[in-house]
């Protein structure tokens, strides 16, 4: 079974969605604003009401509690939430969980002293990169990325793209990435889908109105 298997998922904006993303595969999702891209990611992560079923490998979403599901299927929202005063309050506290964190932070442009920074002083781009680090330290098997580089300059965008690409390969993670950037979608060479009229189609088919299936 694919690492991410979505069957007959329905939301307020989407008709019955069937979607497979294999282990180690990158799939980009585009579409007009308001078409339901973010809603789809939130539905897969079991954060918004929806019908249908989702599997992570052989684990059905309905078979485990939602917080545990979201450790397997990790969502990076377009705007991340921060509830502690300092950055370090949002990261694991055990030595095992911190293994590899300094290297990850360095690849994203930070020293470990960032853990002592105040959240209120972070720029939007810094929050975006740190939210990715916070997600990856839990080693999810599936990444749901909502505009993961939208607020980044070219240098930091390249860092994030490289970190995600390496994580996908090293962890054999399935990656479903909402991106409005056509150059990014072409550059990273993933499978490209789009939402059109509540359905998911290959990007080119959605653009020209044909009825090809993903």
Report pLDDT for 94: 53
Cα–Cα distance for residue pair 4/29, rounded to 1 Å: 15
pLDDT digits (tens, 9 = 90+) for 157-194: 999 999 999 999 999 999 999 999 999 999 998 999 99
pLDDT digits (tens, 9 = 90+) for 60-89: 999 999 999 999 999 999 999 999 999 999
Average pLDDT, the chain: 91
Q: Across the chain, where does the E strand assignment appear?
A: 4-10, 17-21, 26-30, 51-56, 59-60, 73-76, 142-146, 174-178, 191-196, 199-202
Q: What architecture is domain 4-79+138-208?
A: 3-Layer(aba) Sandwich (3.40)
Cα–Cα distance for residue pair 21/14, rounded to 1 Å: 18
Side-chain half-sphere of 113: how many Cα atoms within 13 Å? 0
Handedness of CA 10, 165, 149, 100 (dihedral sign): positive
Residue 62 structure tokens: 């309905």
Where does the pLDDT of residue 3 fall: very low under 50, low under 70, confident under 90, or very high at 90 and above?
very high
pLDDT digits (tens, 9 = 90+) for 12-46: 889 889 999 999 999 999 998 888 999 999 999 99
């Amino acid at each position: 079974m694919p690492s991410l298997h979505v069957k007959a998922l329905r939301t307020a904006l989407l008709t019955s969605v069937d979607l497979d993303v294999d282990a180690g595969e990158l799939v980009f999702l585009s579409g007009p604003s308001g078409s339901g891209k973010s809603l789809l990611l939130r539905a897969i992560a079991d954060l918004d009401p929806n019908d249908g079923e989702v599997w992570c490998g052989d684990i059905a979403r309905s078979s485990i509690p939602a917080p545990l599901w979201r450790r397997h299927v990790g969502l990076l929202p377009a705007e991340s939430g921060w509830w502690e005063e300092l950055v370090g309050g949002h990261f694991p506290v055990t030595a095992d969980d911190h293994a590899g964190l300094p290297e990850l932070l360095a690849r994203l442009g930070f020293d470990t002293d960032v853990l002592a920074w105040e959240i209120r002083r972070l720029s939007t781009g810094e929050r975006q990169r740190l939210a990715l680090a916070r997600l990856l330290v839990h080693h999810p098997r599936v990444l749901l990325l909502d505009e993961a580089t939208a607020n980044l300059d070219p240098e930091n965008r390249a860092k994030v793209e490289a970190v995600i690409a390496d994580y996908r390969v090293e962890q054999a993670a399935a990656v479903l990435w909402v991106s409005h950037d056509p150059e990014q979608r072409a550059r990273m060479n993933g499978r490209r889908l789009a939402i059109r009229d509540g359905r998911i189609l290959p990007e080119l088919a959605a653009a020209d109105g044909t009825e090809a299936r993903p």
